Amino acid sequence: MDIEQFRKAGYQAIDRICEYYYSLQDKPVQSQVEPGYLRKALPDAPPDVGEDFQEIADDYQKLIIPGLTHWQHPSFFAYFPTGCTYEGILGELYATSTANPGFNWSASPACTELEAVVMDWAAKLLGLDAAFYNASEVGGGVIQTSASDSALTTVVVARSRYQRASPEVSTQQLVIYCTTQTHSLGKKAGLVLGIPVRALEVTSEDRYGLRGETLRRALEEDTARGLRPFILIATVGTTSSGGVDYLEELGPVVAEYPSLWVHVDAAWAGVALACPEFRETCQLEAINKYGDSVCVNFHKWGLTNFDNSCLWVRDRTDLINALDITPEFLRTKHGDAGTVIDYRNWHLGFGRRFRSLKFWFVLRSHGVQGFQDYIRRTIRMNDKFIALLRSSLLFKLVTAPFLALTVFRLVPPASSLPLSVSSPPQPDADSDADAETEIETETETDSATAPLSEPQLNALNRAFYARVCARPDIMLTQTDLLGTFCIRLAVGAARTSEKHMQAAFDLLTEEAQATLKEWDWTGAGVNGVKEVNGINDVKEVNGINGVEAVNGVKVMIMNGVNGVNGVHADEVDEPDEARDL
């Protein structure tokens, strides 16, 4: 391809991208292909002679787009959002047009310097303390690939700092702290590094956030056993429930253990710090006071195309001491003088993409006000959905909504059930069910709650979710909160409007009613359903593994407690044991 052919193909590519977004709402949210579809459509070896690029571009339209799940679709409510803006697309195009690995300042000064500047811009947007600015020359920010990479890097750095200060402590004594609601990144860091992970217990009463006394008790127990916890991965906005660890309580406890690193994973919710009214909810003051490192993924709720995970550290020396390896061929005048940042020493890899360019485009194009408007609008969309849920006799909240995330389940009123369905046993007065009941009471109507046991409700909701998951016109994800099977709805697609929230609610109501109609009430849901409108692949829906597939569509399971992300509650898991989870 020569320059003019590139120009022509580029025009066509932009046109087709525009047509994709014009027609996006009319596409199914989830890909409708079967596993292995692409291998069947492609030859088993590359061509001997180069092909015409028009054919290649046409095959992208014909073969690749049908296999995409459309994360920017206005009816995509699964997982968390993935940012994608036209400014970001163009930033990626420009960045890849001048490809360079950007490992040193001298490799391309603009790449390093722009990253240092935009990371300070982002820190100021979120209200982070000046100690985290690159301009401070003490702390600083770096763009990583994902929150998992940010966490793994941070664990490596925290381990290095701890072992330098306490060389007598063996690696076998080290322990990573997270909670039963922490993202799988905590467990994965332990697997990669061969370090045990202790997942501290949280409760529904505390809205799945870690309390200070729980941390204190764990530290005292482990220290007495000769173990050395060296990092706590705290979360602001957990994946399953939007839970927030109580940093204002955890901080004073950590102060008694100054060698304990506090990493704040605010991958999703952190962008809400752009809005002053959410800073208290997201504990900005405690983050600034107690956090050694903070991660916010602007490629989630931050309008920036993947990948763009922002990691800030309070002391860059910890990063460099842990990760700096400088052979002779990497030495430079400015690097030796310490007058520039060499970002190869700020992450686990060596080369790095020019991610800061798209981030710069997005920050400049939207501005602070644009970010704030977007965050507030998506939260308003979620508020609309919450209001619809609360007006319904069929659904109840499982936990209090947080920002743009709602967790709910189908709980039919007693009046809709056959008279033969018996009432479940009442929970103990001191059980976690009390907290959930309190939350559900806020959403109740005058109708009585369905007389179903917790296993029966879980079975019913698995069947309900299976129906929803089989539909092409919406996408949500499931989770488990302390044994309660529930459904998550996260708003974040830039094109989502109130009409899409109404449509989502109407669709869920339709499927809930169909589930109740087809449910096997003779077994009170214990054995699930034999067939639901042709869906006959529902296996032991009240079991741990639940629904495996629906009409060939794999059901997305976000494993919960015990264990959420495979982490067993409040115990130290050895690496070999963890591999078996």
User: Across-strand partners of 485?
Assistant: 480
33 with 158, same domain: the answer is no
Number of Cβ within a 10 Å radius of residue 467:
23
Q: Is residue 198 part of a domain?
A: yes
41 with 152, same domain: the answer is no
> Which three-class secondary structure string do you get for 395-429?
EEECCCCECCEEEEEECCEHHHCCCCCCCCCCCCC
7 with 122, same domain: the answer is no
Rg of the chain over Cα atoms, rounded to whole angstroms, equals 25
162 with 303, same domain: the answer is yes
DSSP H or E stretch at residue 486: strand 484-490
134 with 230, same domain: the answer is yes
Q: Is residue 288 part of a domain?
A: yes
Please list the pLDDT of the chain residue by residue as tens digits (581 residues).
999 999 999 999 999 999 999 999 999 999 999 999 999 999 999 999 999 999 999 999 999 999 999 999 999 999 999 999 999 999 999 999 998 888 887 789 999 999 999 999 999 999 999 999 999 999 999 999 999 999 999 999 999 999 999 999 999 999 999 999 999 989 999 999 999 999 999 999 999 999 999 999 999 999 999 999 999 999 999 999 999 999 999 999 999 999 999 999 999 999 999 999 999 999 999 999 999 999 999 999 999 999 999 999 999 999 999 998 888 878 888 787 788 888 889 898 888 999 999 999 999 999 999 999 999 999 999 999 999 999 999 999 999 999 999 999 999 987 767 655 544 444 444 444 343 334 443 333 333 455 789 999 999 999 999 999 999 999 999 999 999 999 999 999 999 999 999 999 999 999 999 999 998 876 655 444 444 433 334 433 333 333 333 333 333 333 333 333 333 334 334 333 333 32
Q: Is residue 536 part of a domain?
A: no
Tokens matching residue 398: 């499982």
Residue-wise DSSP of 52-98: PHHHHHHHIIIIIGGG---TTSTTB-SSS-----HHHHHHHHHHHHT
20 with 157, same domain: the answer is no
Please tell me the pTM assigned to this model.
0.85
Distance CA 116, CA 142 (A): 7
* Domains of the chain: total: 2
Distance CA 110, CA 96 (A): 14
273 with 353, same domain: the answer is yes
Say which amino acid occupies 165.
Answer: A
175 with 42, same domain: the answer is no
Q: The domain that contains 48 carries what CATH number?
A: 1.20.1340.10
268 with 153, same domain: the answer is yes
- Cα→Cα distances 484→198, 487, 548, Å: 22, 10, 18
217 with 356, same domain: the answer is yes
121 with 40, same domain: the answer is no
Q: What range does the domain containing 223 cover?
A: 92-328+335-367
Tokens matching residue 140: 């600083």
Distance CA 397, CA 388 (A): 11
Nearest to 305 by CA among 81, 128, 64, 19: 81
Q: Is residue 516 part of a domain?
A: no
Q: Residue 360: which region, alpha, beta or left (left: phi > 0; alpha: psi -120 to 50)?
A: alpha
Q: The domain that contains 222 carries what CATH number?
A: 3.40.640.10
120 with 42, same domain: the answer is no
